[in-house]
Amino acid sequence: MVARDGGCGWPTCLEPPGRCQSAHIKGWHQGTGKPRGPTDLANGILFCPYHHRRYDNDGWDLQPINGTPHLIPPTWIDPAQTPRRCGQRKTPG
């Protein structure tokens, strides 16, 4: 996740990997029966503690779009639920 995400996956956050936690995209407790959200690289993303709480508690969702995770805001933040690309932008140079 460190190599893929580069730090906190929240679109506007610049926290480095050492200040982040791994989060389940689909929680291990979600769903009924199997499959539940596995604990593996494909079902994980790095978030700083603040954004991890926002993701878990505020109704955000994550979904891949063209292989890149995108945050889907809850309707109370964005009624259109416009996807927001996850991951830190690496600047050239």
Return per-residue pLDDT of the chain as tens, 93 residues.
888 888 999 988 999 999 999 887 776 555 444 445 656 676 788 999 999 999 989 989 888 888 778 899 999 999 999 999 987 655 444
Residues 31/37, Cβ–Cβ less than 8 Å: yes
**54 domain-assigned:** yes
Read off φ and ψ for residue 12, nearest 5 degrees.
-105, 5
**33 domain-assigned:** yes
Q: Which residues, in sequence order, are CB contacts of 31 under 8 Å at separation 6+?
A: 37
Give the number of domains in the chain. 1
**91 domain-assigned:** no
- List the domain range (segments joined by +) for residue 50: 2-85
What is the pLDDT at residue 92?
43
